[in-house]
Structure 1
Amino acid sequence: MGIFAVGLFASYFMEEFNMTFTDQLHEQAATLWQQSFDHPFIQQISAGTLPKAVFRFYLLQDRYYLSEFGKLHEQVASQVTNPKGRTFLLEGAQGLKDGEIAVRKGFFETLQISKQEIAQTPVAPTAYNYVNHMYAELYRGTPGRAIAGLLPCYWLYNEIGKRLIAAGSPDALYQQWIETYDSDGYTDSVQKMIALTNETAARTDADERTAMAASFVRSSAYELAFWQMAMDRQSWQAG
């Protein structure tokens, strides 16, 4: 079945079953997301047994990722024509600086991660490749593909937070991490990003929606790889 035929089938399926574009994306990435839910990193966060050395490594790599994630918001915003979407993306970039990155700073202080350690920690291959994937979706692709590539970071973390919040974690630091992604404010941002993705998809053709879906699935795969990167304390060295 060609790309055009896939697009027609997807459009029919969405209309027939009242599915949004992002519902379709969610289904396409469901196996990857389930692997994230079941990953030892997430399960050990919930159990409170994740080694702090692993969490420290994750935070250091996530600091790099979030810094670039915020820059991507600003660069995508400069290319979108939807004023509402542009405003949301710029607010998201500022929110990262004021909110999530600030929370990470608190984690750094608790774990005594110094500025020197931050400066001397190399970016791990998976973090480097994930960020490069999103820049490629923007500069070798389109703003719509970049938006689809940004969405899993919002949405998957929110679903993880909602799944873990009921049981919580016996470790106070990990409980704080869980609560970050189940908050009303964070959930509201996720819903706005989902809406922006759907609005963007509605203004384009079947081929572009197929490319947006590929970007979303690739980002979902990188999210899964990010957990394992932390468990392995991944480096550029072989072996």
Structure 2
Amino acid sequence: MTFTKIAREEAAFYWEKSFEHPFIQRLAAGDLESEIFRYYLLQDRYYLEHFSKLYSKIAEQTNDQEAQQQLKENAENLKLGEMAIRKEFFSELAISDQEILETPIAPTAYHYVSHMYRQLVDGTPNTAFAGMLPCAWLYQEIGVRLIETGSPDSLYQRWIETYAGEAAAEGIKKECALLDRLYQESLKKEQQQMIQAFVISSKMEYAFWEMAVKLEKW
């Protein structure tokens, strides 16, 4: 079987929990508290900052030319797309630089980012790349599920639309095909590490919604 099929099946429980999580359900219903969404954005800012850096770091370390090109493309798309939209959200919600500085990084955000960096220390560029896939792929699937009904809240609707478009779907399809090839070309130990990195990241995605709803602190 392919990497994406195996990994997706092993992480299925946590993906379903993400789809059903109150954060997602209430965002779609339009009644997610602004305080929770603000906290999510503040923690996600930290996460995306390092997510972008990781794309570049993995690209520097991989010897696979196609992977290197894809990682650089992902980093650029992140800056032009998701991160740019986040800046608009920050402006509309009046989230200041001072608030960003004064908001501590939550344990889950810290641990998720640390997990991804660890793949480059204890693993390989392939395991690190595999550990980054759940974020983009899960969000894309959430976007597709929610866009059918949308959200009555205009801000939450724009969040949904960010991940529901054809460009996002094509990007995920391309990335999955690439990781499937890298997996097939890897030795068994590295294949196992790739699956494990993917599954842990999937667990952390679920934990991220929990973090936001609970306004998690140390």
Q: TM-score scaled to structure 1, two decimals?
A: 0.89
Aligned sequence identity (%): 51
Residue type matched to 1:43 in 2?
A: Q
- Residue 189 (structure 1) aligned to one of 134, 158, 171: 171
**Greater Rg by CA:** 1
- Residue 118 (structure 2) aligned to one of 124, 129, 136: 136
- Residue 42 (structure 1) aligned to one of 1, 7, 24: 24
Residue type matched to 1:117 in 2?
A: E
Residue type matched to 1:45 in 2?
A: L
Give the Å deviation of 1:233. Answer: 0.6
In the alignment, structure 1 residue 99 sits paired with structure 2 residue 81: yes
Give the equivalent residue in structure 2 for 1:116.
98
Residue type matched to 1:158 in 2?
A: Q
Give the equivalent residue in structure 2 for 1:7.
none
Residue type matched to 1:210 in 2?
A: Q
State the alpha-carbon separation in 1 of the partners of residues 181 and 101 from structure 2. Answer: 39
Give the equivalent residue in structure 2 for 1:5.
none
- Higher-RCO chain (CA-CA 8 Å, sequence separation at least 6): 2
Give the superposed CA RMSD.
0.9
In terms of mean alpha carbon deviation, does 77-86 or 31-40 score higher? 77-86
In the alignment of these two chains, the number of paired residues is: 218
In the alignment, structure 1 residue 171 sits paired with structure 2 residue 171: no
State the alpha-carbon separation in 1 of the partners of residues 123 and 144 from structure 2. Answer: 33
State the alpha-carbon separation in 2 of the partners of residues 107 and 187 from structure 1. Answer: 23
Structure 1: state its 5+ residue gaps: 1-13, 15-19
Residues 92-132 of structure 1: CA distance to partner in whole angstroms, max 9, x if unpaired?
11221121100001111111111111121111100000000
Q: TM-score scaled to structure 2, two decimals?
A: 0.98
| Runs of 4+ that moved beyond 4 A | none
Structure 2: state its 5+ residue gaps: none
Residue type matched to 2:212 in 1?
A: A
Give the equivalent residue in structure 2 for 1:147.
129
Give the Å deviation of 1:189. Answer: 1.7
Residues 147-174 of structure 1: CA distance to partner in whole angstroms, max 9, x if unpaired?
1100000110011001111010010000
Give the equivalent residue in structure 2 for 1:217.
199
State the alpha-carbon separation in 2 of the partners of residues 153 and 166 from structure 1. Answer: 21
